[in-house]
Amino acid sequence: MSEEAEKVLVIGSGIAGLTAAIYTARANLNPLVLEGDEPGGQLSLTSEVENYPGFVEGINGFDLVQNMRQQAERFGARYEGGRVERIEPGAPHSVVLDDGRTIKAHAVVIATGATARWPGLPREREYIGHGVSTCATCDGAFYRGLKVAVIGGGDSALEEALFLTRFATEVHLIHRRDTLRASKIMQQRAFDEPKVKFHWNTVVESFVGEPEEGLRGLKLKDVATGAEEQLDVDGLFIAIGHIPNTQFVEGVLALDDQGYLNESVVTHVPGIFAAGDVRDHVYRQAVTAAGMGCQAALEAERWLGASALG
Ligand code: NAP
Q: In this predicted structure, what is the pLDDT of residue 46?
A: 66
Atom of ligand 1 minimally distant from the CA of 152: 7
pLDDT at 160 over 50: yes
Q: In this predicted structure, what is the pLDDT of residue 309?
A: 81
- Percentages helix, strand, coil for the chain (3-state, rounded to 5) are 30, 30, 40
139 is catalytic: yes
SS3 155: helix
Among protein residues, the one whose CA lies closest to atom 15 of ligand 1: 240
Distance between CA atoms of residues 63 and 52, nearest Å: 12
Query: Given pLDDT bands bounded at 50, 70 and 90, which one contains residue 105?
Result: very high
**φ and ψ of 163, to 5 deg:** -60, -40
Q: In this predicted structure, what is the pLDDT of residue 38?
A: 81
The domains spanning 6-116+242-306 and 124-238 adopt the same CATH topology: yes
Distance between CA atoms of residues 201 and 58, nearest Å: 38
Contact 150, 157 (CB under 8 A): yes
138 is catalytic: yes
pLDDT at 48 over 80: no
Q: In this predicted structure, what is the pLDDT of residue 44?
A: 76
| Rg of the Cα atoms in the chain | 21
Helix H segments across 55-114?
Answer: 61-74
Kindly name the residue from 37, 63, 98, 135 that is annotated as catalytic.
Answer: 135
Query: Given pLDDT bands bounded at 50, 70 and 90, which one contains residue 118?
Result: very high
Distance between CA atoms of residues 122 and 205, nearest Å: 8
pLDDT digits (tens, 9 = 90+) for 130-152: 999 998 988 999 999 999 999 99
Classify residue 278 as left (phi > 0), alpha (psi -120 to 50) or beta. Answer: alpha
Q: In this predicted structure, what is the pLDDT of residue 50?
A: 82
CATH fold of 6-116+242-306:
FAD/NAD(P)-binding domain (3.50.50)
Kindly name the residue from 138, 234, 277, 280 that is annotated as catalytic.
Answer: 138
- If you measure from the C-alpha of residue 234 to the centroid of ligand 1, how many angstroms do you get, rounded to a whole number? 23
pTM for the whole thing?
A: 0.79
Q: In this predicted structure, what is the pLDDT of residue 1?
A: 41
- If you measure from the C-alpha of residue 23 to the centroid of ligand 1, how many angstroms do you get, rounded to a whole number? 34
**Mutation to probe ligand 1, out of 156, 185, 186 (largest number of atoms < 8 A from CB):** 156
Handedness of CA 17, 295, 60, 162 (dihedral sign): positive
Provide mean pLDDT across the span 264-271: 98
How many residues are listed for the chain in this entry? 310
Picking from 10, 85, 106, the residue whose alpha carbon sits closest to that of residue 251 is: 85
SS3 66: helix
Q: Are strands 202-208 and 217-222 parallel, antiparallel or unpaired?
A: antiparallel
pLDDT at 3 over 60: no
Number of Cβ within 10 Å of residue 239's Cβ equals 24
Distance between CA atoms of residues 143 and 160, nearest Å: 13
| Mean pLDDT for all residues in the chain | 94
**Mutation to probe ligand 1, out of 176, 179, 185 (largest number of atoms < 8 A from CB):** 176
Distance between CA atoms of residues 79 and 72, nearest Å: 10
294 is catalytic: no
pLDDT digits (tens, 9 = 90+) for 217-267: 999 999 999 999 999 999 999 999 999 999 999 999 999 999 999 999 999
CB within 8 A of 235, min separation 6: which ones?
131, 132, 133, 139, 142, 143, 146, 147, 148, 149, 168, 215
pLDDT at 310 over 90: no
Distance between CA atoms of residues 136 and 85, nearest Å: 32
- If you measure from the C-alpha of residue 120 to the centroid of ligand 1, how many angstroms do you get, rounded to a whole number? 16
Helices 155-164 and 184-192: angle between axes, nearest 10 degrees: 30
Q: In this predicted structure, what is the pLDDT of residue 2?
A: 43
Contact 195, 169 (CB under 8 A): yes
The CB of 277 under 6 Å from ligand 1? The reply is: no
Classify residue 49 as left (phi > 0), alpha (psi -120 to 50) or beta. Answer: beta
Show me where the domains of the chain are located. Answer: 6-116+242-306, 124-238
Between 258 and 1, whose confidence is greater?
258
Q: In this predicted structure, what is the pLDDT of residue 47?
A: 65
CATH fold of 124-238:
FAD/NAD(P)-binding domain (3.50.50)
